[in-house]
Structure 1
Amino acid sequence: MQTLASSYKLRLAFFTVAAILLAASCKKGDSGTPDDTDITPPGSEVPSLATVRSWLADKNATEETAALFYNLKKMAKTNVLFGHQDATKRGVTDANTQWANEQQFSGVSSLKSDVKDVTGAYPAVYGFDYLQISGFFDDTWGWFSYEKQIARQLSIEAYNRGGVCTYSWHYGNPVSKGSFYWSDSPVEAVSKILPGGSEHETFKNSLKIVADHAKTLVGADGKLVPVIFRPFHEFDGDWFWWGKAHCTAEQYKALYKFTVTYLRDELGVHNFIYAWSPGESYTSEAQYLERYPGDAYVDLVGTDNYGDMKVSSNPTTAANKFKIVSDYAKRQNKLAALTETGLQNLPKSDWYTQILLKSLKQNKLEFCYAMVWANTKDAYWTPYKGHAAESDFKTFKSDPYMLFGDKLTATTMYKIK
């Protein structure tokens, strides 16, 4: 989102990240359009592990990963989990003071959370980013290693308390080794990182870093932490180098397919649920699916929507778009989610109940989660104590439709039962 882009630049100005690439090896029947295969969604009878695995892009997914998919699918029929990007990574104390679990700061507790400070509960979903883990940095000062370590720690802690981890990937341009923003590094990359391209090995090396990190996420129970992995999002816009103006639809699909198959089949990552999410530019299912890589590669269909969630927005506008996503997920046995949203700095004090909650409650949606963006001093998305939106946020939290971390346990989320 362009609004999101400006807030990223404020907090990530010192980053230069890069490299992405993927390619296509299409399997029989893997078109980007919906198929007519009969699908039996989860019902009242608890399915076997083998059955749940058969629904996933990774048929060898870990038991906990399959259980997470099943439980999110089941819970989406009656509730939506609330998520916050960088929930225990960074935040704000007030409009002028921010905190962060970063190398240059000391004494910040890994248990700190803006959402918990205000509501008494952690979010249910914790957003992380492979930007800080798989990038093109000079690590002579240790920053790169620290970011890997703190992301690992915070992810494991979230899992241990029953939370859900999702990782996006603001991947720096792998050809220029510069920014993920096209405006900052206008170098065509997608065709060059696909198989046969000049930077294909660069992209594969980046995927190996992602895979290696995923395999280090081991909870207190000795199990790998499941991750909802969401690469190459908001591709319907032009602000990222993988956006629609910078590659064809077929190139984008090939990129996404290669990402999944290489991580799964070559690198042996089996704790990923694969998410795919455009922005809000669509108004029909056909538009929504224009760059869909196919059901064989996607477990969660989502959408990022900031533009329809503004101060003066009618919640029905967003809700109607959400219905397109939810209906597809129901029909094809996928998860659906509002993968990013928010109102920067919350100038509308009742935004959570009057815009977000109302948009989610319309149209009998089955969204498993809704996640707002990360808090920094210049751009925050959940209120701090004393903010005008604090009371409304607490009312939002108390609505039975919304689930925060105090309603989840590891057994709730990571066992099929």
Structure 2
Amino acid sequence: MKNRFHLYGIGLCWLFLTGTACSKAPVENKIDEKEEQEAPKEDGPTTLADIKLELVDKDASDETAALFYNLKRVAEEHILFGHQDATKRGVDGDGMEWANEQHLPTVATEKSDVKTVTGAYPAVYGHDFNHIAGFFEPGHSWFAYERDIARQLTIEAYDRGGINTYSWHYGNPVSKGNFYWSDSPVKAVSRILPGGDHHEVYKTSLETIAAYAKSLIGTDGKLVPVIFRPFHEFDGDWFWWGKAHCTVTEYKQLYQFTVEYLRDELGVRNFLYAWSPDRNFNTEAQYLERYPGDDYVDLVGMDNYGDLQAGATVSAAAQKMKIVSDYAVQHQKAAALTETGLSNLGQANWYTAVLLKALQHQPVRLSYVLVWASRKDSFWTPYKGHPAEVDFLSFKNNDYIYFADEMPNMYQLP
């Protein structure tokens, strides 16, 4: 694995002596020099004990604390690239979908669309607790195998140095239905809070997550750190926890109880807690309307597909990234573009002309960007032979972007 992370002495000397950046080829859409200037670096804590004081969980594992520290450090100069279900499913060059669920008990764990095209795994692997802590029928094929598959892929990602993040498309715990409001239009938030008639149902789901989290043991014998991102895109109305279906106070209480129960009652020590609305804000005040508080959040983020569609001018997305980044820097948080992408990549140069341009439009400190999971009817990274393949390679080769072959050791202090 290449490790070019903050080799400050060598890197800066080389930069000043040659006047050039690293050997990666620049992309076509350069930004202005005034936009290229970095935000000043901050002097942060330098010991694990000091780092843990900044975390939601002061008793987090050493590897989890190191991950938090390195997420912030890498964001000073680079951004990590991530892919949802990166080694779980994807699209072959013939347009046919592959999925590891179909290959049990032998799981093709080495397969990755990103690796097939670029030769490298993504730095960040997205997963979901949907079929681990949810309400699908026991005979459902995903429900039957999801836990073992997800555990295996998560551990393997950690073993190769990757970062794991889990969202939670949680089925409605009152109706035992889908996570989409249109499919399960029953108000649930108030009823799963302490004192509610379905509070014990919710606690059982959290207990399932806690047991799973404690089962994630790498080959080094350590707990695998996870960035846990519950109840995302809450500023929309499409999920049962969305803004139209609960009050501001109820949403905050739900997030806070989730953290407290996992951390204080169930003893989960390998979670960083992430919080991310969709793109429905233009100011910091709007962004923070349902923020549960610094004591409950390690990583602030944003999901944004709508401002980054084909042909986007990117300024709106860039300004929202800046709001997220500025808050993170000011409050000692990590930050990320937690979901984005262009379905089926109808714009062949989307990665460099839209995504990269937005990320570099103005100085921001985002630790990673994650695009969504690929399947044959909706893919978010190109397959071999797709018109976007060349552009994706240019994106990968840009010095700002880190894939797995260039990322630092995220689980030790440098």
TM, length-normalised to structure 1? 0.88
Kindly indicate whether the alpha-carbon contact (under 8 Å) linking 2:45 and 2:51 is maintained by their aligned counterparts in 1.
no
Aligned match of 1:379: 378
**What letter is aligned with 1:335?**
A
> 1:220 corresponds to which residue?
219
Q: How far off its partner does 1:294 sit?
A: 0.2
1:71-108 deviations in whole A, cap 9, x for unaligned? 11011000000000000010001463100111466765
Q: Find the aligned partners of 1:106 and 1:267 in 2 and give their Cα distance.
A: 31
Tell me if 1:154 matches 2:192: no
Partner of 2:203: 204
Partner of 2:351: 352
1:133: Cα distance to partner? 0.5
**Which residue matches 1:91?**
90
**1:167 to partner: Cα distance:** 0.1
Question: What is aligned with 2:31?
Answer: none
Kindly state the Cα deviation for residue 46 of structure 1 after the two structures are TM-superposed.
6.0
What is the CA-CA distance between 1:143 and the residue it aligns to?
4.6
1:169 shift after superposition? 0.1
Give unpaired runs (5+ residues) of structure 1: 1-40
User: Match for residue 58 of structure 1?
Assistant: 57
What is the CA–CA distance in structure 1 between the aligned matches of 2:98 and 2:56, rounded to whole Å?
Answer: 38
Say if 1:351 and 1:143 are closer, same or farther in 2 by CA, change over 3 A: closer
Q: Which residue number corresponds to residue 135 of structure 2?
A: 136
Q: Does 1:71 align with 2:63?
A: no
Contact 2:131 2:142 (8 Å CA) reproduced: no
Judge conservation of contact 1:124–1:163 (CA < 8 Å) in 2. Answer: yes
Q: Which residue of 1 aligns with 2:240?
A: 241
CA gap of 1:143–1:328, structure 2 versus 1, over 3 A, is closer
Which residue in the other structure is 2:284 paired with? 285
Residue in 1 that maps onto 2:319 = 320
Could you tell me which residue of structure 2 aligns to residue 195 of structure 1? 194
CA contact (8 A) 1:275 1:301 kept: yes
Q: Does the CA-based 8 Å contact 1:103-1:146 persist in structure 2?
A: no
Rounded to whole Å, the distance in 1 between the matches of 2:293 and 2:173 is 25
Match of 2:390, as an amino acid?
S
Normalising by the residue count of structure 2, what TM-score does the alignment of the two structures yield? 0.88
Cα distance in 2 for partners of 1:219, 1:403 equals: 23
> Deviation per CA, 1:299-336, whole angstroms, max 9, x where unpaired?
00000000000112112221011000000000000011
User: Relative to structure 2, which stretch is displaced further, 85-94 or 41-50?
Assistant: 41-50
Residue of structure 2 equivalent to 1:126: 125
Distance 1:109 1:334, change over 3 A: same
Do the aligned residues in 1 keep the contact of 2:335 with 2:367 (CA within 8 Å)?
yes
Q: Which residue of 2 aligns with 1:413?
A: 410
Q: Which runs of 5+ in 2 are unaligned?
A: 1-39
1:250-271 alpha-carbon deviations (Å, 9 max, x no partner): 0000000000000000000010
Partner Cα separation in structure 1 for residue 75 and residue 44 of structure 2: 16
Match of 2:362, SS state, is: helix
Q: State the shift of 1:47 in Å.
A: 1.0
What is the DSSP-based 3-state SS (H/G/I as helix, E as strand, rest coil) of the residue aligned with 2:361?
Answer: helix
* Aligned residue number for residue 101 of structure 1: 100
Instruction: Give the deviation of 1:378 after TM superposition.
Output: 0.5
C-alpha separation in 2, matches of 1:143 and 1:311: 33
Amino acid at match of 1:299: D
Work out the percentage of aligned pairs sharing the same amino acid.
Answer: 63
Query: Which amino acid in structure 2 is aligned with residue 118 of structure 1?
Result: V
**Kept after mapping to 2: 8 A contact 1:46/1:416:** no
Taking the aligned partners of 2:412 and 2:231, their CA distance within structure 1 comes to 29
Q: Is residue 258 from structure 1 mapped to residue 223 from structure 2 by the alignment? A: no
The answer as to whether partners of 2:155 and 2:218 remain within 8 angstroms in 1 is yes
The C-alpha deviation readout for 1:226-246, integer Å capped at 9, x for no partner, is 000000000000000000000
Deviations 1:125-157 (A, max 9, x none): 000000011112332577534210010000000
CA contact (8 A) 2:311 2:354 kept: no
Q: Distance in 1 between matches of 2:86 and 2:220?
A: 23
1:331 matched to which residue of 2? 330
In the other structure, the counterpart of 2:111 is 112
Q: Distance in 2 between matches of 1:145 and 1:209?
A: 15
Equivalent AA in structure 2 for residue 76 of structure 1 = A
Per-residue CA deviation, residues 21-67 of structure 1 (Å, 9 max, x unaligned), is xxxxxxxxxxxxxxxxxxxx984576111100000000000000000
Can you list the C-alpha shifts for 1:352-406, whole angstroms capped at 9, x where unaligned? 0010001111221000000000000000000000000000000000001000011
Give CA-to-partner distance per residue, 1:4-34, whole Å, 9 cap, x none: xxxxxxxxxxxxxxxxxxxxxxxxxxxxxxx
Are 1:100 and 1:108, in contact at CA under 8 Å, matched by a contact in 2? no
Q: Which amino acid aligns with 2:335?
A: A
2: distance between equivalents of 1:256 and 1:196? 16
Q: Which residue of 2 aligns with 1:20?
A: none
CA contact (8 A) 1:42 1:70 kept: no
Residue 86 of structure 2 contacts residue 373 of structure 2 at CA under 8 Å; is this kept in 1? yes
Distance of 1:290 and 1:392 partners within structure 2: 38
CA distances 1:168-201 after superposition (whole Å, capped 9, x unpaired) = 0000000000000000010000000000000000
Q: Secondary structure at the match of 1:405?
A: coil
Q: Distance in 2 between matches of 1:157 and 1:284?
A: 40
Aligned-partner Cα distance in 2 for 1:342–1:142: 27
Letter matched to residue 176 of structure 2: K
Alignment partners' CA distance in 1, 2:325 and 2:151: 31
The answer to whether the 8 Å contact 1:207/1:259 transfers is yes
C-alpha distance in 1, partners of 2:71/2:140? 40
Amino acid at match of 1:368: S
**What is the RMSD of the two structures over their aligned residues, measured on CA atoms?**
1.6
